[in-house]
């Protein structure tokens, strides 16, 4: 009895697997190659965009650092001279 239940379960699983295999769309080698090529191009494009963004950010950081360096006074400025106040009494 247990053997027949196992056989029925295996047969049902095989029938379902076969049905699913028959229903899935078939991909020709040319379609597979085209999909693979499109995926590789997409991956390269994403990689290029990330590299470009990183380079842009590095350039902006460098420009900000140079600007900050320029804004620091390089030589000491003289202190402000005291103002002389003269009061006239009426």
Residues 41-62 pLDDT 10s: 999 899 999 999 999 999 999 9
Is 90 a residue whose pLDDT tops 70? no
Confirm whether pTM is higher than 0.85: no
Q: With CA atoms as reference, report the closest residue to 2 among 13, 14, 10, 16.
A: 10
Residues 70-86 pLDDT 10s: 877 667 777 788 888 88
Element (H, E) at 19: helix 2-23
């Amino acid at each position: 009895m247990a053997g027949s239940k196992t056989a029925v379960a295996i047969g049902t699983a095989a029938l379902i697997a076969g049905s699913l295999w028959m229903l899935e769309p078939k991909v020709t080698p040319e379609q597979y190659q085209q999909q693979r090529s499109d995926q590789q191009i997409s991956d390269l494009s994403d990689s290029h965009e990330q590299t470009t963004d990183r380079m842009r950010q590095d350039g902006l950081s460098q420009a900000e650092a140079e600007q900050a360096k320029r804004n620091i006074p390089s030589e000491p400025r003289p202190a402000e001279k005291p103002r002389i106040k003269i009061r006239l009494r009426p």
